[in-house]
Amino acid sequence: MQVFKIIIKTIRKNLHVLSIYLFVFVGFLVLMSGTQASEGSSAFSEVKRSVMIINEDSGNVIADAFADFMKKASIPIAPVDTEEEMLDALFNEEADYILIIPEGFSKDFLSGSHAVQLEQQSVAGSRGEVWTDMKIRKYLDLLRLYAELSDVDANDSDAIAKLCAKVETQMNKETQVVYPVGARKVKESSVPYYFKFMAYSLMAVTILGVGAILKLFTDRDFKNRLRCSPEKTSSVNLQLVLGNLCFAFMAWAVLVLVCVIFAFREGLKPWTWIMVLNSFVFMLTTLSMSVVLGLVIKSENVRTFVANVVALGSSFLCGIFVPIEFQSETVRKIAGFLPAYWYVKGVEEAKNLTSYAWSDLKPIGLYMLIQLGFGVAFICVAMAVSREKSRRTV
């Protein structure tokens, strides 16, 4: 068991580096769960904008009714007199939007000529501009429609006031969403995101850990000392394989345990355990890839660099950080040559499961087999590299 003890000492020596990726993973899960909790109710709540309303057509029914509506629909800001003060209000973010109702607007609106237009000042492309423009356009379109259908007299103030009241009532109506009998709101689970991000930490930790172990055991002086020890070569190799497997398993188990703990808050679903199995298969594939990299890379700095490149590169290409549906067809084809892509495909397929018949589970099983195929290929490469190194050893 001397080899096992050496492996444990090696992992302890590099534990501070490996724990960084665990803390990053836990931090991500805390952030995700905090974001989910802050979402609160799924009901829509309108955000009012700060609007400065300057009514130069005061005393006319349409202008006054329109100004009153906009004050109720927004956060009214006290009007100013000069254009410089208006610009200062926008610059200092005291107002999101400045609306000016010019003199003669009401009379022109009823005549249908629309020669007198509203004046506005705002930050181009801002949310305040879009929101307020939408409100104004909707109100005036409704008022124009009602005026054309009722053929109201321009001098009948009472009739015009009633039209404006109808428009305001219509604008204040809220649509109630009615769900069919038996239907319910489905909140998207965060568990698939936990398992996706776990792949990044698992790849980085496994590559660094296995690389540190193999760096020690492939060192010429250390190998010579092992040959002089009573340990048989076959026993050393077996312990080395089991040691790497145990390390990878422990890293996987810790990350999965964290995932399950966070997933428990949402309620463990049957497909959660399918994701656990999928991640176990991915762990085996990552372990075999780490062995290849560990045999090739000797420098600790290069190993850290490669671990970050492989973990981050796979995360961006394979749908861990950037969803697969947002990526181009070319990127997807490239990602298909990486095992992480098929792991993410398995997670995506598992989260959509509603039944667990073989026809539903077959695609996930196929993705797992593809990952195992990558693992077998990596093992073959590792054996070839190890054999070549043995021939060169003096």
pLDDT, one tens digit per residue, over 49-82 is: 888 988 888 888 888 888 898 888 888 888 888 8
Query: Based on the domain organization, do 295 and 221 belong to the same domain?
Result: yes
Query: Based on the domain organization, do 288 and 325 belong to the same domain?
Result: yes
Q: Which of 55-59, 149-153, 197-201 has the lowest mean pLDDT?
A: 149-153
Would the pLDDT of 16 be above 70? yes
Q: Tell me, what's the pLDDT at 235?
A: 73
Backbone angles phi, psi at 119, to 5 degrees: -110, 145
Q: What is the mean pLDDT of residues 27-40?
A: 63
Q: Tell me, what's the pLDDT at 343?
A: 94
Q: Is 177 part of any domain? A: no
Residue 159: both structure tokens together: 């009739």
Residue 106: CATH number of its domain: 3.40.1710
Residue 213: both structure tokens together: 């172990």
Q: Any idea what the Cα angle at residue 88 is, between residues 83 and 90, rounded to 5°?
A: 100
Q: Which of 171, 198, 225 is the last residue of a domain?
A: 171
Query: Based on the domain organization, do 152 and 297 belong to the same domain?
Result: no
Would the pLDDT of 387 be above 50? yes
Q: Tell me, what's the pLDDT at 375?
A: 93
Q: Is 195 part of any domain? A: yes
Q: What is the mean pLDDT of residues 208-236?
A: 75
Q: Tell me, what's the pLDDT at 203?
A: 93
- Between these two residues, 268 and 210, which has the higher pLDDT value? 210
Query: Based on the domain organization, do 358 and 225 belong to the same domain?
Result: yes
Query: Based on the domain organization, do 122 and 263 belong to the same domain?
Result: no
Q: Rounded to an integer, what distance in angstroms lies between the CA atom of residue 290 and that of residue 62?
A: 74
Bridge partner residues of 51 (DSSP): 76, 97
Q: Is 180 part of any domain? A: no
Would the pLDDT of 182 be above 70? no
Judge whether 150 and 164 are in contact, CB under 8 Å. Answer: no
Q: What is the mean pLDDT of residues 166-172?
A: 84
Q: Is 184 part of any domain? A: no
Would the pLDDT of 304 be above 60? yes
Q: What is the mean pLDDT of the chain?
A: 83
Would the pLDDT of 201 be above 80? yes
Judge whether 56 and 103 are in contact, CB under 8 Å. Answer: yes
Query: Based on the domain organization, do 127 and 208 belong to the same domain?
Result: no
Q: What is the mean pLDDT of residues 11-36?
A: 78
Name the pairing type of β-strands 75-77 and 97-101. unpaired
Q: Tell me, what's the pLDDT at 367?
A: 94
Bridge partner residues of 75 (DSSP): 50
Would the pLDDT of 335 be above 50? yes
pLDDT band at 184 (very low <50, low <70, confident <90, very high): very low
Q: Tell me, what's the pLDDT at 129?
A: 84
Quick one: which of 85, 344, 322, 74 has its CA closest to 203? 344
Q: What is the mean pLDDT of residues 125-153?
A: 83
Q: Is 43 part of any domain? A: no
Residues 238/243/244/248 CA torsion (nearest 10 deg):
140
Query: Based on the domain organization, do 26 and 73 belong to the same domain?
Result: no
Q: Tell me, what's the pLDDT at 35?
A: 59
Domain count, the chain: 2
- Between these two residues, 206 and 232, which has the higher pLDDT value? 206
Q: What is the mean pLDDT of residues 9-34?
A: 80
Q: Which of 140, 171, 202 is the last residue of a domain?
A: 171
Would the pLDDT of 11 be above 50? yes
* 0.85 surpassed by pTM: no
- Between these two residues, 75 and 175, which has the higher pLDDT value? 75
Query: Based on the domain organization, do 124 and 25 belong to the same domain?
Result: no
E strands, 219-331, where? Answer: none
Quick one: which of 215, 202, 246 has its CA closest to 8? 246
Q: What is the pLDDT of residues 236-261, one digit of tens each?
A: 778 888 888 999 999 999 999 988 88
Q: Tell me, what's the pLDDT at 392?
A: 64
Query: Based on the domain organization, do 363 and 239 belong to the same domain?
Result: yes
Query: Based on the domain organization, do 155 and 236 belong to the same domain?
Result: no
Q: Is 343 part of any domain? A: yes
Residue 210: both structure tokens together: 């296995």
Q: Rounded to an integer, what distance in angstroms lies between the CA atom of residue 106 and that of residue 154?
A: 9
Q: Tell me, what's the pLDDT at 43?
A: 47
Judge whether 14 and 300 are in contact, CB under 8 Å. Answer: no
Judge whether 318 and 344 are in contact, CB under 8 Å. Answer: yes
Q: What is the mean pLDDT of residues 290-295?
A: 90
Q: Tell me, what's the pLDDT at 286?
A: 94
Q: Is 20 part of any domain? A: yes
Query: Based on the domain organization, do 128 and 202 belong to the same domain?
Result: no
Q: In what order do the strands lie in the sheet with 97-101?
A: 75-77, 50-55, 97-101, 119-122
Q: Is 316 part of any domain? A: yes
| Residue 155 domain boundaries | 50-171
Query: Based on the domain organization, do 247 and 107 belong to the same domain?
Result: no
Q: Rounded to an integer, what distance in angstroms lies between the CA atom of residue 31 and that of residue 46?
A: 26
Establish how many alpha carbons lie within 13 A of residue 151's alpha carbon, considering only the half-sphere containing its beta carbon. 0
